[in-house]
Amino acid sequence: MVVGGGLLGLEAARALRLLGLSPQVVEIAPRLMPVQVDEGGGALLRRLVESEELAVRCGVSVQEIVEDRGRLLAKLSDGVELDADVVVFSAGIRPADGLARTAGLPVGERGGVLVDDRCRTSDERVWAVGEVAALEGRTYGLVAPGYAMAEVVADRLLGGDARMTPAEIDMSTQLKMLGVDVASFGDAQAVTPGALEVVVNDPVAGTYAKLVVSDDAGTLLGGVLVGDASKYAVLRPLVGAALPADPVAMIAPGGVELGADALPDSAQVCSCNAVTKGAIRAAIADGAHTVPAIKGCTRAGTSCGSCVPMLKNLLVQEGVEVSKALCEHFSQSRAELFEIVAGAGVRTFTELVGRYGRGRGCDICKPAVASILASLGSGHVHDGEQATLQDTNDHFLANLQRNGTYSVVPRIPGGEITPEGLITVGEVARDFGLYTKITGGQRIDMFGARVEQLPAIWRRLVDAGFESGHAYGKALRTVKSCVGTTWCRYGQQDSVGLAIALELRYRGLRAPHKIKSAVSGCARECAEARSKDFGVIATETGWNLYVGGNGGFTPRHAELLASDLDTDTLVRVIDRFLMFYIRTADRLQRTAPWVEAMDGGLDHLRAVIVDDSLGICADLEAAMEAHVAGYADEWRGVLDDPEKLERFVSFVNAPGTPDPTIEFVSERGQPVPVPRSGEPHQPVAIGMPGVRA
Amino acid sequence: MTAEMLEPAVDLQWETVCPLDRLQPERGVAALLPDGVQVAIFRTHDGAVHAVGNVDPFSGAAVLSRGIVGDRAGVPTVASPVYKQVFSLVTGRCLDDADVTIPVFPARVTDGWLQVGLP
Ligand code: SF4
């Protein structure tokens, strides 16, 4: 049983449902999510929730919960008695007002330190803002009122006379609940005297929209959207403004399309950070010509993000052309070049730049075209002119380090390696004087190899059965795994076996950026699959697939794309996912920003690659089959070809002479580059055991 | 512009480096010259040869020969493979940082052999 039919209560109920339980949701108000939606929206919401096999009881309260032979018995206000194993309470937030209580400041009846309309507590030296502050006895759990309170306090501290009036508090929200979009804004419950309500209710399509307008039908006061909240971004800023069109047409399907031009300059486009359309237009005029630039200088779109489509809209309206040109040599985007190369069958850079670009290319377009050619299966990456397009990593099939040496990473699929394999790696590193380190991707990186050493190192590795790990490429890197059912007491599926199969399937796949993956054997997620471009987590009956995660500069969790897939279906969906990414992403765009930038986001992605809404899935799968069939180890390809081996020399006129500028010192028993001059080399850690003085 | 046109009047010591066909167009090689001087030698798409210092001034690594060759507004360039700054192959000027220049050496082809001139 879940007590409370708000957002968190419903999500908790769904989680219980997914665990195989049959939860009952008990809500004291007459409808679900009573704060956000009105009666009509609540009715639709209830239907959608019940279709998820969740039982709902509204308008009843819990009188008593007693223990009854090891189970719990909840007595409800309508006389019904519910039998439960688990009771989850999700009936409102409780402010963490302990500090105020200890300090003797008065608190509200339902918690929260009491403040007046200046956000001042009973002690005039103490102010409170945000969720802990009870304004006229009420607390607000949203970010916008918190910011508004902070503004008031800042103004007061500077001697101003700003006030908070509860009536003006912006309680607009947009959220997704059990996959259903819900939004409410302004006077959603139509409490303004004389307010009129305009409703478009389509139970068949599962959408409900209501606008609340002033008694003269001239001003928008608020509204509720359930099932489709796409108009939220444009409707919310119009609150308080003159209606630009007939209110029915504004919410009816196929009605008027409202753009940014419908808004007055005073309208708040970003309500989280109180940024008006006028402020954004000013920022655009001052040179903020991209969404990130606008975010950077106005903070619009940096909290909930629901106004980002509006920011794009404003850019277009202000006449900013967003250039998609790859570089000075191509006016096309990477995705367009991919289509040209694939469609027109162009197979060399010279032909491509001659027919579709200008000049002789650069370090931006050449590797991008090299990657496109490789994704389309064009033989060895060093064949013919392709060799001239590769950046140094792809040109020497190793990772350039700061002193001009390279690091070497053999593939260790799934992170599984035999003792003999470990011994080979250890012996190679020892014999060539390499520094070794375990990577985050469950393999071993050997550092400090000079170009002329690379072929000999790889001869040894290839003879021992290793192949290129593509650590140097914008390509599939690793598929990490936990030990799953092989060893783990909790394992639900063979995560190692799947990880190895996936890594072998997608090895060598070139992409707009690197691709990382992992497979966990159960929901404990020891392989950290949700921090990967595609991550797989075992369930009792199959696999859940998550996409669009990454670590790095902007860490992001992958999101659930499909659940309980059998292995064949899983592989098919990943095939489509990867090929769709390779075809349509920008240069150096990882899967996370790619999904984020997609119109329609994850839902659109799911429609395309799970439901085949564009009818391209067969094509994507065929492309992946061609990749799998055409795979060959790049390092073996070099070792077998004297011409390709020719470039692995330190100097063209002194092939065996090591570069005299490369020097090593020893640190913790291993060779490392000499510290840069002018930069004293010091251990970073302080007060940690084992660090040398 | 080819390097031959730049050949100065002073006496140069011409070092023979390798047969021209060791140079794939738009790819570089490194050469070790007397006194440990390292040069990066390139052959551009139009057949011209260029030689510049091999040391990348931003990282200190001797790697410019491994950069990507291309052009900026028609000027032949190489991009450092370390931090990606772009240098003119004609003047040695860094096109991303006006304060930085790499040395330029005269280069020529004689009887199918590539030669670099040292002062
Ligand atoms: S994720 Fe699950 S199966 Fe894998 S090691 Fe952790 S607990 Fe075991």
* DSSP secondary structure string for all residues of A176-232: EETTEEEEEEESTT--STT-EEEEEEETTTTEEEEEEE-TTS-BEEEEEEES--TTH
| SS3 (DSSP) at A674 | coil
Would you tell me how many other CB atoms lie within 10 Å of the CB of residue B55?
Answer: 20
The 10s digit of each residue's pLDDT in A99-118 is 888 988 888 888 889 998 88
Q: Given the DSSP bridges, would you call strands A24-27 and A55-58 parallel, antiparallel or unpaired? A: parallel
The per-residue pLDDT for range A611-644, each reduced to its tens digit, is: 999 999 999 999 999 999 999 999 999 999 999 9
Provide the total of helices (H) and of strands (E) in chain B, helices listed first. Answer: 1, 10
**Residue A680 predicted with pLDDT over 50:** no
CA distance A582 to A335: 8
Of B17, B55, B81, the CB nearest to A653: B17
Question: Please, where are the H alpha helices in chain B?
Answer: 3-6
- Residue in this structure with the two tokens 């359930």, named with its chain if needed: A226
Contact B30, B40 (CB under 8 A): yes
Query: Does residue A321 have a pLDDT over 80?
Result: no
Give pLDDT, residue A569: 96
Q: Cα distance from B48 to chain A (closest Cα, Å)?
A: 14
- Segment A664-692 shows an average pLDDT of 64
Q: What is the dihedral of CA A627, A629, A633, A637, to 10 degrees?
A: -100
What residue spans of A357-466 are helical by DSSP H?
Answer: 365-375, 392-396, 419-432, 454-463
Test site for ligand 1: of A442, A486, A492, A495, most ligand atoms within 8 A of the Cβ: A495
Contact status, residue A368 vs residue A587, Cβ threshold 8 Å: yes
Q: Are B56 and B96 in contact (CB under 8 A)?
A: no
Q: Which of B36, B70, B82 sits opposite A366 (nearest CB)?
A: B70
- ipTM reported for the complex, 2 dp: 0.91
Per-residue pLDDT at A607: 92
Q: Is the pLDDT of residue B117 over 90?
A: yes
pLDDT tens digits along B61-109 = 999 999 999 999 999 999 999 999 999 999 999 999 889 999 999 999 9
Question: Residue A477's closest CA among A525, A434, A531?
Answer: A531
Phi/psi at A34 (nearest 5 deg)? -60, -30
The response to whether residue A11 sits with its C-beta less than 6 Å from ligand 1 reads no
Residue A462 carries which DSSP code? H
pLDDT tens for A452-464 read 999 999 999 999 9
Q: Give residue-wise pLDDT tens across range A472-528.
A: 999 999 999 999 999 999 999 999 999 999 999 999 999 999 999 999 999 999 999
CB contact under 8 A, A652 and B24: no
* pLDDT at res. A617: 95
Assign B4 to helix, strand or coil: helix
- CA of residue A509 relative to chain centroid, distance: 22
Sequence-distant (6+) residues with CB within 8 A of A530 are A537, A546, A549, A557, A558
Residue A195 CB–ligand 1 contact under 6 Å = no
Residue of chain B nearest A662, judged by CA positions:
B61
> Which amino acid is located at A512 in the chain?
P
Q: Kindly give the number of the ligand 1 atom that is closest to the alpha carbon of A492.
A: 3
Q: Residue A544: which H helix or E strand, with range?
A: strand A543-547
Residue A484 in contact with ligand 1 by CB distance below 6 A: yes
- Per the prediction, chain A carries an average pLDDT of 88
Contact B87, B77 (CB under 8 A): yes
Asked if A487 is an interface residue toward chain B (Cβ–Cβ < 8 A), one would say no
Task: List the one residue out of A537, A411, A415, A547 whose CA is nearest residue A475.
Answer: A411
| 3-class SS of residue B30 | strand
Question: Does A650 reach chain B within 8 Å, measured CB to CB?
Answer: yes
- From A416, A487, A522, the mutation candidate for ligand 1 (largest count of ligand atoms within 8 A of CB) is A522
- Distance, CA of A223 to CA of B105 (rounded, Å): 73
Is A662 within 8 Å of A404 (Cβ atoms)?
Answer: yes
Q: Which residues from chain B sit within 8 angstroms of residue A662, using beta carbons?
A: 62
Report which residue type is found at A409: V
DSSP state of B63: -
Closest in B27, B76, B82 to A388, CB measured: B27
Q: 3-class DSSP state for residue A64?
A: strand
Q: What percent of chain A has pLDDT over 70?
A: 95
Asked if residue A490 has its Cβ within 6 Å of ligand 1, the reply is: yes
Q: Torsions phi, psi of A573, nearest 5?
A: -65, -40
Given this model, what pLDDT does residue A402 score?
A: 92
Query: Is a pLDDT exceeding 80 seen at residue A253?
Result: no
DSSP reduced 3-state for A173 = strand
CA dihedral B99, B105, B108, B110 (to 10 degrees): -160
In chain A the domains, ranked by start, together with CATH numbers, are 2-89 (3.50.50.60), 98-168 (3.50.50.60), 334-390 (no CATH), 475-632 (3.30.413.10)
Please give the Cα distance from A82 to B72 (Å, whole number): 75
Q: Looking at the partner chain, which of A329, A404, A657 has a beta carbon nearest the beta carbon of B61?
A: A404
The A88-89 sheet, strands edge to edge = A55-58, A24-27, A2-3, A88-89
Distances, alpha carbon A52 to alpha carbons A48, A207, B112, in Å: 7, 17, 78
A162-221 confidence digits (pLDDT tens): 888 776 777 777 776 666 788 888 888 888 888 888 888 888 888 888 999 888 888 888
Quote the tokens at residue A359: 């000049």
d(CA A530, CA A624): 23
Distance from CA of B107 to the nearest CA of A (A): 15
Closest to B106 (Cα-Cα) out of B114, B94, B98? B114
Does residue B103 sit in helix, strand or coil? coil
Q: Do residues A277 and A260 make contact, with C-beta atoms less than 8 angstroms apart?
A: yes
Q: Where do we find the tokens 């998550």?
A: A546
A29 Rama sector, left if φ>0, alpha if ψ -120 to 50, beta otherwise: beta
Q: Compute the distance from residue A506 Cα to the ligand 1 centre, in Å.
A: 24
Q: Which positions in chain A touch B31 (Cβ < 8 Å)?
A: 651-654
Q: For B26, which of A388, A391, A651 is closest by C-beta distance? A: A388
Q: How many CB atoms lie within 10 A of CB A684?
A: 6
What letter represents residue B109's amino acid? V
Q: Is the dihedral of CA A576, A582, A584, A585 positive or negative?
A: positive
CB of residue A496 inside a 6 A radius of ligand 1: no
Residue with the smallest CA separation from ligand 1 atom 2 is A522
The answer to whether the CB of A389 falls within 8 A of the CB of A369 is yes
CA-to-CA distance for A16 and A18, rounded, in angstroms? 5
Confidence (pLDDT) at A692: 38
- Residues A309 and A585: their CA atoms lie apart, in Å, by 19
Given an 8 Å threshold on Cβ–Cβ distance, is A328 in contact with B73? yes
Question: pLDDT at position A19, please?
Answer: 80
Give residue A688's pLDDT.
38
Phi-psi region of A192 (alpha: psi -120 to 50; beta: other; left: phi over 0): beta
A480 CA to centre of ligand 1 in angstroms:
12
**C-alpha atoms less than 13 angstroms from C-alpha of A222 in its C-beta half-sphere:** 22
CA proximity to A40, closest of A226, A192, A218: A226
For ligand 1, the distance from its centroid to the CA atom of residue A496, given in whole angstroms, is 11
**Which helix (H) or strand (E) element contains residue A278?**
helix A277-285
Q: What residue in B sits closest to A395 (Cα-Cα)? A: B66
What are B29's strand-pairing partners? B41
Q: How far is the CA of B115 from the centre of ligand 1 (A)?
A: 63
A396 has a chain B CB within 8 A of its CB: yes
A369: number of CA atoms within 13 Å, CB side? 31
Query: Which residues have C-beta within 8 Å of that of residue A640, sequence separation ≥ 6?
Result: none
Beta-bridge mates of residue A287: none
Q: How many angstroms separate the CA atoms of A528 and A520, rounded?
A: 7
Q: Which residues pair with B13 in a beta bridge?
A: B118
Whether residue A521 has its Cβ less than 6 Å from ligand 1: yes
State the pLDDT at residue A691: 36
Is there an atom of ligand 1 within 6 Å of A491 CB? yes
Spatial separation of the C-alpha atoms in residues A68 and A494, rounded to whole Å:
41
CA A466, A468, A472, A477 dihedral sign is: negative
DSSP string, A313-369: HHHHHTT-------BTTBSS-HHHHHHHHHHH----HHHHHHHH--TT--TTHHHHH
In order of their start, the domains of chain B are 23-102 (2.102.10.10)
Alpha-carbon distance of A58 to B97, in angstroms, equals 68
H or E segment at A595?
helix A591-597
Token output for A548 = 């669009």
What is the share, in percent, of chain A residues with pLDDT greater than 90?
Answer: 46
pLDDT at res. B8: 53
pLDDT exceeding 90 applies to what percent of chain B? 82
Cβ–ligand 1 distance for A488 under 6 Å, the answer yes
In DSSP terms, which residues pair with A224 in a beta bridge?
A: A184, A210
> Is A176 in contact with A192 (CB distance < 8 Å)?
no
What pTM does this model have?
0.65
B78 within 8 A of B86, measured Cβ to Cβ? yes
Q: How many residues does chain A have?
A: 693
